Structure 1
Amino acid sequence: MKNLIIRKMSGVLVLATSVLVSFTSCTKKDDQMVSTQSKGITIENVLESKPLVQSGTFKGTGTPPVILPGQSVSFSFYAGPGQFLSFATMYGWSNDLFFAPENPGIKLYDDAGKPITGDVSSQIKLWDNGTRINQVPGIAVSHPGTAEATSKNITEITGTDAQGNTYLSASQLVKASLAYDGNSKFTITLMNNSGGTANATPLSPGVWAISYNVGGNLQNAMPIYTKGQPTANGLTNIAEMGDNAVLNTYLAGITGIFTPLSPVLVVVYSGNENPFYKTGENDRGEGLKNLAQMGNADILAQALRTKPGVKNVYVLKEPTTTVLLPKIGTTGGGKVTQQLTLATGDRIAIATMYGFSKDWFFATKGNGIDAAATGDVSSSIALYDNGTALDLFPGASGTAPAESKAINEVPNPNMYTTLPAINQIIKVTINK
């Protein structure tokens, strides 16, 4: 009998222990055993950034396509406050002179952020490329002429050159007029006013560029030339021959996308719908607009914490810069990481602003990411237009008028630019 009691007690003890182990690894939900696990989510800005927003060329309409005295040429571009227009064109009847604004270029907005229009000729200067000995300027100049024994640095010509030849001021020879077309778009007209002067000359085909402004600093404040430094990158081809092809190729190679990503919203939830947006619907007024327009995720995060099915909400900020900067030169892009506790059936949604836009944001598509997923899940991300501010040229835009339209994916290419693939801008990884 004693042995029987011991055997029965042992059986109860084993059963009790088994049940206890079972309840520490699972929870009961809707009559199903649901396991939980910890995973890390990492969001990175992997964009290989470029310093120039836009660049391009201009030329006359004749053959050859020079701008003769009395003729003009116009081109358009986009720019926001703190950005400048740089360009270069050859003083055609010289050996190696060129017209260009003083760096960083022609000022486009006043200190109050209002677009500048009208005559901006005073900002144009005449420069010596330093590669040829200057002859008396005029139609009789022989090209290419005599090379300098040792190439000199680029210098401004103010009245006379190194050989004693005289020149009117650049603003008397080339008139530059700015027009503001609205929505961050400008048109500049360069008029050749040199006819009838002692410095009559055609103007060659040229190049132009706009640099990104990041936190008040231009990413390339001297894209075409550097005063007091040797010529480079194909400027000699313009200054000596009026050939803009080489320098245009160089500028095109450093023109492209630059954008930070705002502090990242991460949401763990259960349910059949993303808790903060749906394509085809307007912004819900819960704070997504603040994230998409200003990079402020805190308002939306607070609203989500009160919603049924939402389990955890995080706003991830890069410790040093707050935002996630792209790769700049040899410096890697910013990244943030968060450890998540996930149950079977949970979903993960994220959102972060395309920083150099008016109201674009990256977010998980549809109903987010399955908590069971691991590895690179960047294919779950798309770029959306919040529909609350008028789209302007990304990276070159001022104040945008408000609008009200449904949230939809940003087309690529779009009316302004062609963006890299999403996974070349933002990378999202889930690790056990």
Structure 2
Amino acid sequence: MQFVKFRLPLGLLSLISVLAVSSCSKDDDVEQAGNDAATITVENVIESKALTQSGTFQNAGSSPLINPGETASFTFYAGKGQAISFAAMYGNSYDLFFAPANPGIKLYQDNGDPVTGNVSSQIRLWDNGTRINQTTGPLVPPGVAENPVKNVSEIALGVPASQLLKAELTHEGGTKFTLKLTNTSGGTANETPISAGVWAVSQSSGSVLLKEDPIFSPGKPSANGLTDLAETGKTTTLTQYLTGITGPNSPFSPVLVVVYSGNDNPIFKTGENDRGQGLKELAQQGNADILANFLKTQSGVKQVYVLKDPVTNSLQPRINGNNGGKASQAISARKGDRIAIATMYGQSNDWFAATTNNGVDAGTRGDISSIMGLFDNGTLESSFPGAHIGSKPAQAESQPVQQLANPNQFNTLPSLPQMIKVTIQ
């Protein structure tokens, strides 16, 4: 076969060369200004705690002892299904203490109404099992040690414990309660001072309490500093233990991630009321899909993702040393684009964690947790985090979106980087 050679005119050859160079330059520009692949990862790093709240109480007078006729009270928050537990020493004994049976005093009726009034019938008297019991009355400490040590057990005296210590619940509104304790032992055969004490409210997961025995366990040896309280009325050691297991246990909802251009975060702006575009549903219910679908229709918004833990959807906290929930997503963004995220803080009515201000430059790599903030959506009345499931729906409100202070009006939470970790790689 004979090949025929074609000779192009010199002018046409020059034009093709120019076009070829122009085409290569354009392709190079597209590659340089094109999409940069990255992966964003959001992880719940909250170290799960068993108690939402704990604290101490004592007589408000010059002595912490609650003598006959005197009172002590404390205020706390609890949602439906939670209970209040406490313990205080029966002063004229070697190791007896007052406490309700576990998991504590019931705070809501079955229909969801708060329990109020006299709840003394739920108080019991317990033997710590570390000192030999003797006839109650003014005693000389420390008494004789039990050998071997016995388990904690309920003990009966001549009169019920409810006749020696009166407990009254007041509902302060929302999920807020006050428990007032009055020493009513005066004039009885068991007249006694009552020591300062400790109290605790367990976390709940649905209808299940994470710790039904926060202070003591009948049938088991005394532990965690309860002996100090039962024998001497000192609360320090037991308080330290309870403080160590008190804190957040919150999940984060599926995470909204938005890639956009411009100077305005498309998700929200502090100082403005909720825009009615779906942020309310994210902040109240953890539903990011409504806002995601809306943002997909907006100019300047380039990519929208909803990140979910592959097993649980929501991002659960770390439990017993195990890793918390995590979600990752490969994203594509041009240089100069911005990235913003938002996710519901689960133990709240309408709080959410989000990137502050105008998000972060899409070219940023590494840990960006430090630019995260906790915000109040302003659409439901706030309540104590972890005690937000009340008897009635939270009261609606219409307030501007604001970043929450820490400490907030209820408690002090860990810093955001200790609760949620966000990285771009």
**TM tier relative to shorter chain:** over 0.9
What is the CA-CA distance between 1:15 and the residue it aligns to?
A: 6.1
Aligned residue for 2:397? 403
Mean alpha-carbon deviation: is it higher for 82-91 or for 217-226? 217-226
CA spacing shift, 1:18–1:423, aligned 2, 3 Å: farther
For 1:285 and 1:339, how far apart are their aligned partners in 2?
29
What SS does the corresponding residue of 1:390 show, helix, strand or coil? Answer: coil
1:221 to 212, 232, 235: 212
For 1:220 and 1:11, how far apart are their aligned partners in 2?
83
What SS does the corresponding residue of 1:205 show, helix, strand or coil? Answer: strand
Mean alpha-carbon deviation: is it higher for 56-65 or for 366-375? 56-65
Aligned residue for 1:249? 240
Partner deviation per Cα, 1:176-226 (whole Å, 9 max, x = no partner): 110011132111111112222222211111000111112332222211111
For 2:107 and 2:137, how far apart are their aligned partners in 1?
33
For 1:273 and 1:7, how far apart are their aligned partners in 2?
55
2:163 to 141, 161, 172: 172
Aligned residue for 1:414? 408
What is the CA-CA distance between 1:322 and the residue it aligns to?
A: 1.8
TM-score calculated relative to the size of structure 1: 0.91
Aligned residue for 2:334? 343
Aligned residue for 1:162? none
Aligned residue for 2:36? 37
CA spacing shift, 1:17–1:154, aligned 2, 3 Å: farther
Aligned residues: 418
2:91 is aligned with what amino acid? G
Alignment of 1:157-168 (within 5 A): 157=155, 159=156, 166-168=157-159
Q: Percent identity?
A: 55
2:35 is aligned with what amino acid? T
Mean alpha-carbon deviation: is it higher for 389-398 or for 279-288? 389-398
CA spacing shift, 1:343–1:143, aligned 2, 3 Å: same
Matched, 1:361 2:352: yes
1:389 is aligned with what amino acid? L
Alignment of 1:53-202 (within 5 A): 53-62=52-61, 64-139=63-138, 141-157=139-155, 159=156, 166-202=157-193
Aligned residue for 1:300? 291
What SS does the corresponding residue of 1:187 show, helix, strand or coil? Answer: strand
1:240 to 223, 228, 231: 231
Mean alpha-carbon deviation: is it higher for 113-122 or for 393-402? 393-402
TM-score calculated relative to the size of structure 2: 0.92
For 1:378 and 1:217, how far apart are their aligned partners in 2?
32
| 5+ residue gaps, structure 1 | 160-165
CA spacing shift, 1:3–1:151, aligned 2, 3 Å: same
What is the CA-CA distance between 1:400 and the residue it aligns to?
A: 2.3
Partner deviation per Cα, 1:332-353 (whole Å, 9 max, x = no partner): 1111000111122322111001
Partner deviation per Cα, 1:43-100 (whole Å, 9 max, x = no partner): 1111223222111111124454211122221111111112111100011111111111
1:143 is aligned with what amino acid? P
Matched, 1:326 2:317: yes
For 1:343 and 1:136, how far apart are their aligned partners in 2?
81
Matched, 1:277 2:268: yes
Partners of 1:269 and 1:311 within 8 A in 2 = yes
Mean alpha-carbon deviation: is it higher for 276-285 or for 399-408? 399-408
For 1:135 and 1:54, how far apart are their aligned partners in 2?
35
What SS does the corresponding residue of 2:33 show, helix, strand or coil? Answer: strand
Partner deviation per Cα, 1:231-264 (whole Å, 9 max, x = no partner): 0111001111111111112111222222111110
CA spacing shift, 1:401–1:12, aligned 2, 3 Å: same
Instruction: Please provide the CA RMSD for this pair.
Output: 2.2
Partner deviation per Cα, 1:309-364 (whole Å, 9 max, x = no partner): 22221111112222111212211111100011112232211100111112111111
